[in-house]
Every structure is written in C-alpha cells, then in structure tokens.
Structure 1
Amino acid sequence: MERKWWHDKIACQLYPKSYQDSDGDGIGDLKGIISRLDYLKELGIDMVWLSPIYASPFVDQGYDISDYYKIAPEFGTMEDFEELVAGLKARDMHLIMDLVLNHCSDQHEWFQKALKDPYGPYGDYFYFRKGKNGKAPSNYRSYFGGSMWEPVPGWEDLYYYHSFAREQPDLNWYNPAVTRELYQMINWWAEKGVDGFRIDAIINIQKDLSFPDYEPDGPDGLCSADVVVSHASGIGEMLEDLKKHTFALHDSFTVGEVFNGKEEELREFIGPDGHFSSIFDFSQHLLCLGKHGWYEAKPVDFKTWRSTIFASQAEVESFGRYSNIIENHDEPRGASMFLPDYGQNDAGVKMLGTVSVLLRGIPFIYQGQEIGMKNVRRTSIEEFDDISTKDQYAEALAAGLDEQEALAACNRLSRDNARTPMQWSSDKEAGFTEGTPWLAVNPDYQKTNVEAQERDPDSILHYYRKLTALRKNPAYKDTFVYGCLKPVYEETEQVMAYIREYEHQRILVMGNWGQEAAELELPGTVKEVLLSNLPDVVLDGRQLWLKSCQAVVLQME
C-alpha cells in the first residue's frame, strides 16, 4: 500500500461551541481553541477536526449553513481563523474542516431566492415537487422526524425536500451549477490552508428523482430515511467528480460520514484510489440504537461489541483503513456506553482508550475523551438543546412510554451528552467560560477536569499521553500504523485482545472487561511490557493474570 502523509496521524475532534470560551459569552470560539493548541500538541494530536464554524442560524448546531464563506460571529472572525491555521502549522499540526454538502440552511441566499421563484434558476438548486393526491410527493420520514417534504409558503401544493430538519433543504447535486458552487467553495478553503475535510452525511446526496413511495415502517405511514437512501444509486460517479475537482488537487485528507454504505462498495470508498482517504467506522455505535428509536435500545453486549469491531477491522484490512472512534458530537460518551457499570472508572476508561487507539486505522479522539468525560443526567426534556433528542423524546411518548421512561432514553443516547462544555478545571463552569454556558456543564466537573488530572501522574489524561506516544514511538510505529490485526482470546467471555504484527514485530493488546481477573496463557514469550493501565502486570512465564479493567500492551518475542 502506498504510504500517505496522513497514515500515521492521530486526530482530535473539537466541538467549537463547547471547547473554550475566550470572551465570556458562554459560547466557545476560535480564540479559545488557539489558547489550547499546546495542550492538544502535548496530547499527541496531529490533525484537528472542527465541527462547523460557518455562519449559521444554529437550528442544527452549525450543520445548517447560511454562508459557506463566512465564520459565524459567535466563533470569531476570519482573522481568528487565519491565526488558528498559522498556530497549527507552527506546531506541525493539520486542520480538518467539516463540509456540509448535502444541505444548507433555509436562510442561505440560494434558498431565499428559490422561495421567491421555485421555478426559476435557484429553484433548481433544491428539490421542489408538486404534491400527490393532496399529500406530500412521497412518504419519506426525515432523520429528525416528520415528513421530508415541507409545504412551500405561498405556493399551492408545492413542497421542498429535506433529509434532516425543515430548515435544512437538500441541495440538488444533479444540477451542475450547484456542484460548481460547492467545488469552488471547497477549493477556496483548501487554498486558505485547510489540510483536509470531514464530509457530513454525504451518502444522502444521491436521490431517486422519481421519489417513489416505499412500504411504511411506522404508525405515521412514513418510511425511514435509511430505507430511502438504500434505494438510490449512482453515488460513486458523484463522489469521483467531487474528488477530481477538489480533494485530489490539494492532496487533502478526507474522511466521510457514510451510513447505509454497501459492503461491496467499500473498496470504492477507501481503497487505494477511493473516493475518500477514510470513512468512520460506526458499526459499534449502531449497536446502541433501537429499531424504531432510542426507547427500544438495549445495553451493548460485550461479546457482540467485540466481534463487531473485529469484523469491521477485517473487512477493510486488505485495501484501506477506517477512522476509529469511541464517541463524537453525534454519539453519547463512550465511557458510558461501552463499559459495564463496574468498569466506569479510571481504569476502565484507560482500557477502552487502549483497545481503540491501537486498532488498525486512524484514531480519532473526541474532546474530553482523554479525561474520561461521561454522559449527563438531565431531569427534564427542557434541559436538552439537541433537535434530534427532542424528536426521540416525542417518539418515545408516542410509543406509549411515560415521561420518565422517555427521559431515561434521552439521557442515555442524547447527542447533548458529548456537547457539554469541556471541563478544564474545578472553577465555576469548569473553566470553560466566565459567563453562562450555552449548554449546562456536567456536574461531575469538580472531580473530572484537566487541571486536576495534570497534577495526578496516574490520571486518564497522563495515560492518554502515554498511549499516543506509544503509537508514535519510532520503534513500534510501523506495526501500529501498517501492521495487520489478528484477534485472539475470542473464546473468552470477557477479554478484548488482538495482535498487531508487522514484519518480525508482534505486539499484543488486551483488556479485561470482566468483573473478575482472567488467567490467560500467552501466545509466546513476553519481550517487554510497553504499557499497562494498572501498576502491576502479573506474569509467570507464559501465564498472565489480567485484573478486572486492566489493559496491557506487550511486545512478544
């Protein structure tokens, strides 16, 4: 496999609104991020992915863009952005921007012009269609609930299409004028020093333009967006055109948010000449969801979770690499989802981080993961900000759950769990802001914060620094970056373990999810203990006693 500049990098996702506020307005901003660049460098981060910072009404927290060329004033100015780029480059770090290309805000000038004349040139930037038999053009349910078709004010029996919120009209990728506009915008940002892009919801750009009805899958008579997307085709040609006119011109790193992809198309997405450099592996997160909504979600079974990760690793090993995550801005906190109750402690968090960061692929750490931030318990739906959470709460009530049961589902799976402000210190509002934060800080900030963990050499933060340093260590880097991954101990009830192997080097990574110690016979002789999250590694020849929530990384003979 040809070696690329991004293969050995470690990425960190920042949610700008919640990272660091510099001016006391309760909203994180670019100057706040700039003030924390040394922290990120010390954490071992090479690439920083920012969730959208463009001008937006923030109906969907910036994923509804009203001007692709402007910085949202809540985050700062273009001069602040340029200072951020310069600060990253001075530290040999790279900036990854979020690209939202499937849709824009209903406040974007394109859509405002389209509303005035849906049959004019800007009307064709979107999907306007006549209703059918007095109803919407088709029976599609948006990702945020309700019909994908919204009536157009002032135009009888005319609707526009939105995969997400009604304030996020889908852009018409079958119109060359639209793709020209988008390609020009992407190249403009690349020329300003952006080294790569995370591409949001990109699979949704493909449409069956006849918009046929499908079998309803809910009591509302609608069909889910996932089903709608699965019936469309032609995404490959669209993505190749995008790559040819943008990313390929700048050697950009690209990571796609791809749901509903087809296994047989994986090579086309992330093979040597794939549409993208990488795509996120969401397989473990899909285990968290219920069939009809969060209210049906079951706790994640360890053995299913383990086999799911190994299956994902195997399916791309021969041709590409996934971007591996425990959590992100759209998911609850990994420490609250993938650890048993007895393992939701410092040792367990370190263990989860170990088996994730050392997988084959590109590690993505999400802000706060490195200090073990966890889910938040809210006492009322009014305390949530997220549009998707409010929809899921309504879905749960409609399914017959009472308010407390519906709230419990939201507390477990809400996207707001990952969007609470970063916990820098035990000071007021966790050192995030001198004002009132836009979203309430997790009350556990008094004990879970960067400042306290900086002082504790045994903290999760210090452990994450050791973990990233190990992956970057020249003595082992090729094995972690280019080595194959072989699962081991799959027959055990409680151990997640795999061997990373490259040329003549073998490194065993393992963690014990069980409540009791596990006695294991090792597949060879230990040459060196590279890392452990607990003080003692109990070895007797080829026998290893792995304590509950213990993770070890062993170089084998």
Structure 2
Amino acid sequence: MKKRWWLDKVAYQIYPKSFKDTNGDGIGDLRGIIEKLDYLKELGIDIIWISPVYQSPFVDQGYDISDYYKIAEQFGTMEDFDELLAEAKKRNMEIIMDLVINHTSDQHEWFQKALADPTGKYGDYYYFRKGVNGKVPSNYRSYFGGSTWEPVQGRDLYYLHAFAKEQPDLNWENPEVKKELFDMVNWWLDKGIAGFRIDAIINIKKHPELPSYEPDGDDGLADFTTMIADTEGVGELLEELKTNTFDKYGAFTVGEVFNMQEDKLREFIGDEGHFSTMFDFSGEVLTKGGHGWYDSPKHDFKKWRDMVFKTQLKAQGIGYYANIIENHDEPRGASRYLPEGLRNPKGIKMLACVNLFLRGIPFIYQGQEIGMQNFTAADISEFDDINTKDEYRRAIDAGLNKAQALAVCNERSRDHARTPMQWNNADNAGFTKGTPWLKVNKNYQEINVNREEKDPESVLNFYKEAIRLRKSEAYKEVFATGEIVPRFTEFDKVFAYERILENKHILIAANFGAEEVHLDQEWKEGTLLLSNSHFSNNRKEIKLSSGEAAIILL
C-alpha cells in the first residue's frame, strides 16, 4: 500500500463556536484558535479540522452555508483565517476545513434565485418537484424528522431537503452545480489548506425517479437512507470531485460516510480511493435506533469491541480509517463507552489507550483530551441543537412522558459535545468573558486545562504521553502502518490487540470490567511502554485491575 504523509500524524477537531472566545460575545472565534495553537502543538497535534466557519444563518450550526467564500462575522474575518493558516504553518501544523456540498442554506444566493424562478437556471441547482395528488412528491423522512419535501409558497411545487427545511439539497446531476462547487473547493485549496473533512457526502447521489418506498413508521414515511441505499452511481460523482479538486493538490480528505455498500471499501479508501480516509462510526451504528434515539439500544461493550475489530480487519490491506471516540455530532465518549464506575480519570485514560493506537489516524475532539463529559439538562429548553429537539418530539409522539424523553436527550444529545471548552476554573471556564452561547458544564471546576496541566497524573498529561509514544521514532512506523491482530477476545470485558511490523510486536490491553483479569502471557519478556496505572506483570500472566490499560513491547 502507498505510504501516506498523514499516517503517523494526530488530528484534532475544533468546533469553533465552543472553543475560545476572544471578543466577549459568547461565541468562539478564529482569534481564539490562533491563541491556542501553542497548546495544540504541545499536545502533539499535526492536523486541525475546523468545523464550518463560513457565512451561515446557523440553523444547523454552520452546516447551512449561505456563502462558501465568506467567513461568518461571529468567527471573524478572512484576514483572521489567513493569519490562522500562516500561524499553523509556522508550527508545522496543517488546517483542514469542513466541506458541506450536499446542500446549502436556503439563504444562499443560488436558492433565493431558484425560489424566484424555479424553472430557470438556478431552479435546476436544486430539486423542485410537483406534488402528487395533492401530497408531497415522495414519502422520505428527513434526518431531522418530518418530510424531506417543503412546499414553495404560492406554487404547486416542493423542494427536497435531506436535513432541515432550511438546507435544500443541491442537484449534483447538473454540470453547472458541480463546476461551481469544484471552483470553490480549489479556491480554498489554493489558499493553502491541506484538505477537507467531507460532510454527509453519500447523500449527493439521488435515485433519478425519487420514488416512494414502503413506510417504516407510523408517520407513513420511509427513512431517507432507504432511497440512498437504492441508488447507484455515487462513486462516479466522487471521482469527478477528486479528479477536479483534491488530486491536483495532494489534499488530505476524510469522508463522513454512512450507508456505504459493503463491497465498496476499496473504492472509498484504497490506494486510489475517493478519499484519503473515512471515519469509523462503529459505536454510532450500534446504538442507532429503529425510529429514533428513544428506541436505540444501550451501549454493549462486547458488540462495540468486536465491531471495531471487524472494521479494522476489513480495512487491513485496503486502506486506513480515521478513528474517533467522539465528535460534534455525538455525546462524549467518556459518558458513552465507559461503565459508570469507570467514568473517572483512570477509565478515560484507558479509553484513550485503546483508541489512539488502532490502525489508522486518530482524531481527537476538543475537550476529549481533558476528559470532558456529558451534562444533565433539567429541561428540554436547555438544549440548543435542532436534532435534539426533534428527537425529543419523536420520543413524546412515541408515548414517552416528558421525563423519559428528556432522559433520552440527556444520554444522546449532540449538545454534549458542544458545551464550551473548559480552559480554567474562572467564570465560564475561561471560554468567554461574556455570556456563553451554550451553558458551560458544571464540572469545569474539576475538569479544565489549567488544572490538568499542573497535575502530572491528569488525563491531559496522559494524552500528551500517549501521543508522544505513538509518534516516537522507535515506534511510529508500527503504530502507523503495522498489522492489527485482536487478542484475548474470549474475555468479554477485555479490549486487547497487537500492532505488528516486522520484528516489533506491541500489545495494547485494557480491562473494561469491574473485576481483575489475568491474561496468559505467551512470551518470555515484555517492556512496559505506557500504563494508566501502576502496572506490573510477571512472566506467566498479565494482571489488569478494573479500568487498567497497558501497552507492552513484547
């Protein structure tokens, strides 16, 4: 397989609105990111993914873009962005942007022109269709609930939106749309960014007839993914995108890919794949409900571990995944993947161990490195997220009472990852001198960067140590390109695997259970490289206490 420049790197996702505010308006900004570049460099970060900072009405937190060529005023100016790019490069760090090209905002100039004349040039930039027998053109349910078809006022027409009604889908069958988007992508790459995280990209290819499907719920609708799964040809569109943009610059690209057909992995992340890598959503897929969050299965450690291994082994010899514990669309990993008794520094360090050394490139989400956790809302009004409010309504409609519906949101809301970054124990956790756009988690007095920087046993300092190990001259090749071999899978609460390259064998072993486990040792000697505890082992067996993790050179 081709050697990629990014394979021995570590990436970090910034959600700008919640990272660092420098002007007191309660919203994080680009100057806040500039201010914290040295912090990220010291952590060991090489690549920074910045969630959308484009001009937007912020119906869906910037994933509804009204101008791809402008920076939203809340975040600063294009001059601020250029300075950020230059300052990152001074520190040998790369910036990648969020690429949102399945849809625009309904405030985008293209869509406003399309509404004025749906039969004109810009009408064909989107999907406008006539109703059928006084009803919507087809029965898709949007990702945020309700029909994907929104009526156009004063006309017998509807437009298609896979997400919110304020996010109309672009028509990728139109060559002019593709040219507009390719030109925009190249404009940003010309600026010097290293690449993109590509949002919801599978959705760009629609079934040409946009047919209805058998309903899968009492609302008479079928999930939008049903149509997407029944559609061929997305690969051709992705190759056009790659050939006309990414390939010209050697760009690093990471796809947000759901619903990929099982046999298409090589086409997506192989040596000649559509993307450099794509996220592994093993945890997210396993807890997806049939109708919403309210009927989603609880986290099952063994199923999750086995799914991660299945994904890792499938990619071996084909390509590399981007490995995550959390992101801006998911609750905090410490509150999701750890049993209640291990939602503490020891357990959070253990979770870091099993994730950071998987095969592929690790993506750390802001606050993960200090062990940020979910908050508990007392009322649905405390949530800001459009998706959370929709899921609350779904739960109520399904017969849950308000307390039960709220409990569902307290477990699954995307806002858990969006609370402001906790820098210190001052007001608003040092995030802002104003009123934060979203409440700071109450635990910021104990969990914050300033305190953890001073504590040699903190989660933050453990992350720094683990990243140094991953990137060390002695071991970076085995962690970057080495084979992965699952180990000790007969233990239901053990997450263990070897990374192997030539004569180097490194074991990563962690005990997610409540009881100590004894693992048979098949080698004569081992050298401890890292542990989240005061680990010791003898020649016959490895003993792991509850929540203990160890990385051993065999």
Bin for the TM-score computed over the shorter chain: over 0.9
AA in 1 matched with 2:217:
G
Asked whether the equivalents of residues 526 and 542 of structure 1 are also in contact (C-alpha less than 8 Å), the reply is: no
Write the distance in 2 (CA, Å) between the matches of 1:201 and 1:239.
Answer: 12
SS of structure 2 residue aligned to 1:306: helix
Match of 2:410 in 1: 411
Write the distance in 1 (CA, Å) between the matches of 2:311 and 2:4.
Answer: 22
1:475 paired with 2:474, answer yes
How many equivalent residue pairs? 554
User: Which of 65-74 and 277-286 deviates more?
Assistant: 277-286
1:57 paired with 2:83, answer no
Asked whether the equivalents of residues 66 and 108 of structure 2 are also in contact (C-alpha less than 8 Å), the reply is: yes
Match of 1:223 in 2: 222
Match of 2:45 in 1: 45
For residues 409-465 of structure 1, what are the alpha-carbon distances to aligned partners after superposition, in whole Å with 9 as ceiling and x for unaligned?
A: 001000000000000001000000000000000001011000110110000000000
AA in 2 matched with 1:338:
Y
1:71 paired with 2:71, answer yes
Shift of 1:537: 1.5
Unmatched tracts of structure 1, length 5 or more: none
Q: 1:554 to 1:173 in 2, by over 3 A?
A: same
Match of 1:537 in 2: 535
For residues 30-85 of structure 1, what are the alpha-carbon distances to aligned partners after superposition, in whole Å with 9 as ceiling and x for unaligned?
A: 00000000000111100000000000000000000000000000000001000000
SS of structure 1 residue aligned to 2:141: coil
Write the distance in 2 (CA, Å) between the matches of 1:394 and 1:247.
Answer: 41
Write the distance in 1 (CA, Å) between the matches of 2:91 and 2:430.
Answer: 24
Match of 1:2 in 2: 2
Write the distance in 2 (CA, Å) between the matches of 1:30 and 1:234.
Answer: 38
Asked whether the equivalents of residues 523 and 539 of structure 2 are also in contact (C-alpha less than 8 Å), the reply is: no
For residues 342-378 of structure 1, what are the alpha-carbon distances to aligned partners after superposition, in whole Å with 9 as ceiling and x for unaligned?
A: 1101000000011000000010000000000001100
Asked whether the equivalents of residues 359 and 479 of structure 2 are also in contact (C-alpha less than 8 Å), the reply is: yes
SS of structure 2 residue aligned to 1:76: coil
Asked whether the equivalents of residues 379 and 406 of structure 2 are also in contact (C-alpha less than 8 Å), the reply is: yes
Match of 1:552 in 2: 550
Shift of 1:288: 2.1
Write the distance in 1 (CA, Å) between the matches of 2:350 and 2:188.
Answer: 38
SS of structure 2 residue aligned to 1:285: helix
SS of structure 2 residue aligned to 1:497: strand
Write the distance in 1 (CA, Å) between the matches of 2:540 and 2:222.
Answer: 55
For residues 365-399 of structure 1, what are the alpha-carbon distances to aligned partners after superposition, in whole Å with 9 as ceiling and x for unaligned?
A: 00000000001100111111100000000000000
SS of structure 1 residue aligned to 2:491: coil
Match of 1:287 in 2: 286
Shift of 1:8: 1.2
AA in 1 matched with 2:20:
Q
For residues 453-508 of structure 1, what are the alpha-carbon distances to aligned partners after superposition, in whole Å with 9 as ceiling and x for unaligned?
A: 01100000000000000000010011000100000000012110000000100000
Correspondences of 1:127-146 after superposition (within 5 Å): 127-146=127-146
For residues 180-221 of structure 1, what are the alpha-carbon distances to aligned partners after superposition, in whole Å with 9 as ceiling and x for unaligned?
A: 000000000001111010000000000012111100001110
Write the distance in 2 (CA, Å) between the matches of 1:331 and 1:170.
Answer: 23
Write the distance in 1 (CA, Å) between the matches of 2:286 and 2:546.
Answer: 24
Write the distance in 1 (CA, Å) between the matches of 2:255 and 2:524.
Answer: 40
For residues 122-141 of structure 1, what are the alpha-carbon distances to aligned partners after superposition, in whole Å with 9 as ceiling and x for unaligned?
A: 00000000000110000000
SS of structure 1 residue aligned to 2:271: coil
Match of 2:167 in 1: 168
Asked whether the equivalents of residues 526 and 554 of structure 1 are also in contact (C-alpha less than 8 Å), the reply is: no
Asked whether the equivalents of residues 52 and 97 of structure 2 are also in contact (C-alpha less than 8 Å), the reply is: yes
1:452 paired with 2:451, answer yes
AA in 1 matched with 2:267:
E
Write the distance in 2 (CA, Å) between the matches of 1:319 and 1:521.
Answer: 32
1:516 paired with 2:501, answer no
AA in 2 matched with 1:77:
T
Shift of 1:165: 0.2
SS of structure 2 residue aligned to 1:211: coil
For residues 530-550 of structure 1, what are the alpha-carbon distances to aligned partners after superposition, in whole Å with 9 as ceiling and x for unaligned?
A: 00001x222121311111101
Match of 2:498 in 1: 499
AA in 1 matched with 2:454:
R
Asked whether the equivalents of residues 52 and 97 of structure 1 are also in contact (C-alpha less than 8 Å), the reply is: yes
Match of 2:85 in 1: 85
Correspondences of 1:392-403 after superposition (within 5 Å): 392-403=391-402
AA in 2 matched with 1:548:
S
Match of 1:17 in 2: 17
Asked whether the equivalents of residues 95 and 196 of structure 1 are also in contact (C-alpha less than 8 Å), the reply is: yes
Match of 1:258 in 2: 257
AA in 1 matched with 2:479:
F
Write the distance in 2 (CA, Å) between the matches of 1:42 and 1:225.
Answer: 43
Asked whether the equivalents of residues 16 and 28 of structure 1 are also in contact (C-alpha less than 8 Å), the reply is: yes
Shift of 1:7: 1.4
Asked whether the equivalents of residues 53 and 62 of structure 1 are also in contact (C-alpha less than 8 Å), the reply is: yes
SS of structure 2 residue aligned to 1:544: strand
AA in 1 matched with 2:148:
M
Match of 1:35 in 2: 35
SS of structure 1 residue aligned to 2:183: helix
For residues 138-186 of structure 1, what are the alpha-carbon distances to aligned partners after superposition, in whole Å with 9 as ceiling and x for unaligned?
A: 000000001000001121x200000000000000000000000000000
Match of 1:525 in 2: 524
Write the distance in 1 (CA, Å) between the matches of 2:25 and 2:493.
Answer: 46
Displacement over 6 Å in runs of 4+: none
Write the distance in 2 (CA, Å) between the matches of 1:226 and 1:442.
Answer: 34
AA in 2 matched with 1:176:
P
Shift of 1:21: 0.2
Match of 2:234 in 1: 235
Write the distance in 2 (CA, Å) between the matches of 1:424 and 1:490.
Answer: 39
Match of 1:274 in 2: 273
Write the distance in 2 (CA, Å) between the matches of 1:450 and 1:525.
Answer: 41
Write the distance in 2 (CA, Å) between the matches of 1:414 and 1:539.
Answer: 41
Write the distance in 1 (CA, Å) between the matches of 2:359 and 2:74.
Answer: 37
Asked whether the equivalents of residues 423 and 432 of structure 1 are also in contact (C-alpha less than 8 Å), the reply is: yes
Asked whether the equivalents of residues 423 and 431 of structure 1 are also in contact (C-alpha less than 8 Å), the reply is: yes
Correspondences of 1:432-443 after superposition (within 5 Å): 432-443=431-442
Write the distance in 2 (CA, Å) between the matches of 1:68 and 1:427.
Answer: 36
Write the distance in 1 (CA, Å) between the matches of 2:335 and 2:447.
Answer: 14
SS of structure 2 residue aligned to 1:246: helix
Unmatched tracts of structure 2, length 5 or more: none
SS of structure 1 residue aligned to 2:210: coil
AA in 1 matched with 2:500:
E
For residues 245-271 of structure 1, what are the alpha-carbon distances to aligned partners after superposition, in whole Å with 9 as ceiling and x for unaligned?
A: 000000000000000001101100000
AA in 2 matched with 1:236:
G
Q: Given the two structures, how large is their TM-score scaled by the length of structure 1?
A: 0.99
Considering only aligned residues, what root-mean-square deviation do their CA atoms show, in Å?
Answer: 0.7
Asked whether the equivalents of residues 104 and 170 of structure 1 are also in contact (C-alpha less than 8 Å), the reply is: yes
User: Which of 301-310 and 55-64 deviates more?
Assistant: 301-310
SS of structure 1 residue aligned to 2:222: coil
For residues 326-353 of structure 1, what are the alpha-carbon distances to aligned partners after superposition, in whole Å with 9 as ceiling and x for unaligned?
A: 0000000011010001110100000001
SS of structure 2 residue aligned to 1:540: coil
AA in 1 matched with 2:8:
D
SS of structure 2 residue aligned to 1:111: helix
Correspondences of 1:68-467 after superposition (within 5 Å): 68-155=68-155, 157-467=156-466
User: Which of 287-296 and 173-182 deviates more?
Assistant: 287-296
SS of structure 1 residue aligned to 2:129: strand
SS of structure 1 residue aligned to 2:49: strand
Q: Given the two structures, how large is their TM-score scaled by the length of structure 2?
A: 0.99
Shift of 1:554: 0.1
AA in 1 matched with 2:492:
E
Instruction: Work out the percentage of aligned pairs sharing the same amino acid.
Output: 58
